[in-house]
Amino acid sequence: MPFNPELCRNESEVESKLIVQYLLPQLGYTPDTWHQEVAVGSIRLDFLAFAAQVIPFVLDTNSPLSVVMEAKHPKQNLNTHIRRLKHYLTSLNVKYGLLTNGKEIRIYEKLSDDIQLVFQCSGKEVEKQIEKITSLIGRDTLKNKHLKDKFVIQVIDNNSNLEIKRQDSMKIIAIYHNKGGVGKTTTVVNLAAAIRKKGKRVLVIDLDSQANTTFATGLVKFDDEVSDNIKDSYIYHILRSVELDTISEVARKSSFTNPEIDVIPSHIKLMKTERELNELRSSQIRLINKLKQVEDKYDIVIIDTPPSLNLFAFIALITADYLIIPSDLKPFANQGLTNVKEYIKDEVNQYRNSLNKLPLKILGVLPCKIATFPKFVQHTLPRQIAAIPQRYGLPILDTVIYQREELAKCLEQVQQIGDMEIPDPRSVFEYKPHGDSAKEFELLAMEVLQKIGI
């Protein structure tokens, strides 16, 4: 049935006559592959269409197959709705958005954290342009695109050698800031727990000689060095040898959260090994190579790092695909952001290039250990958040992790065994599953997984 924009007198008629009766059938979407009035958290969508039948639908690795369609009143200017459409596409990791008031039809494509206009026509031209629209967001087009996108082909050098990497393969995230005391360990363990509870297979690697993550994941079950059962098998052993000490051999099961998580522990002795490992130049890439051996075993690897610019921070940053920078947004932490940015640009990415690895992707600065005073949250925090992209040129994550008592207490839990008090830390999900901190880390996990396409 042809479409006549003159018959659309209000938003409801744009929805029914243009989208439901004309566009969706022309683009190959059957009633079981599109949904109307979809609520996802605080976001409410007019239409969400899928290339494949998904009931109930899940916004995960398949979400780039989706198309958001937003209908507006014929008298409304579409420019006023671009910002909101951008929020929808980037927050939900949806690849395409169609915006229309009946008189005009636009298609936007999500590119990383932004969107760009890829098609535009008047309502009167829609029948002439339907093939072009179909080539962008038609159901069959997106199904075929999905098959191609299962593999990402990266050009490695000028000789056109290709590295083929599955888009849904193991993703490695480093948590790093060269300023200490910004909530790095808290972020590592509770983000790992949140992602694990979503059914993803998680490995945590502690590359900090302070071994705070090793403690926080409950692997220290002794109260003196005589009983120390970590010193003979920890991250150092993975870095020192090509053939010995694989990831699977050194990783330990940790029950600080349920389901369990695998952890490569660290040890205070790690700081004494830096000179030795520096002399073994291949030690810098050893973690990269050993993780390749277990890439089918884990979905997510999270690496804790030292608050410094030393060898172990360097190893983490050349190994990772993505970076999260926890920060309390205070002056000293902000000054450290410049160091981090320059370090990645001048040293990390140059070395990654020599390894034929893409530049490290910064997911964003994570506001962490943020005070909960109402006046501060209302007036000061927004200015601090706005300063990160404006002053330091770094993206900032939407999630905020506030400083709450439950976050400290969950890591301070102990169990009494005879006369001994043995550390027994819990994730915030085990300690206070319905608390505000658990909700914040749940949001962080969702945001991170969306940004990395899992």
pLDDT digits (tens, 9 = 90+) for 52-104: 544 444 544 444 457 999 999 999 999 999 999 998 888 888 889 999 999 99
Q: Within 13 Å of residue 89, how many CA atoms lie on the same side as its CB?
A: 28
Segments forming the whole domain that contains residue 387:
164-452
Percent of the chain with pLDDT over 90: 54
- Please indicate, yes or no, whether residues 307 and 447 belong to a single structural domain of this protein: yes
280 with 240: CB under 8 angstroms? Answer: yes
* Average pLDDT of span 158-178: 66
Write out pLDDT tens, residues 295-330: 889 999 999 999 988 999 999 999 999 999 999 998
- Please indicate, yes or no, whether residues 175 and 73 belong to a single structural domain of this protein: no
- Please indicate, yes or no, whether residues 274 and 391 belong to a single structural domain of this protein: yes
Residue 77: count of CB within 10 angstroms of its CB: 10
Using CA atoms, how far residue 140 sits from 30, 49, 121, 149, in Å, is 12, 12, 22, 14
Chain length of the chain: 454
CATH at 111 = 3.90.1570
- Please indicate, yes or no, whether residues 102 and 207 belong to a single structural domain of this protein: no
Band the pLDDT of 185: cuts 50, 70, 90: very high
Residue that terminates a domain, selected from 97, 125, 149: 149
Q: Is residue 159 part of a domain?
A: no
β-pair partners for 414? 423
Token pair in block for residue 10 = 């209000």
Task: Specify the number of domains making up the chain.
Answer: 2
pLDDT of residue 78: 94
- Please indicate, yes or no, whether residues 133 and 178 belong to a single structural domain of this protein: no
Write out pLDDT tens, residues 269-299: 998 998 899 887 788 999 999 999 998 899 9
pLDDT of residue 164: 38
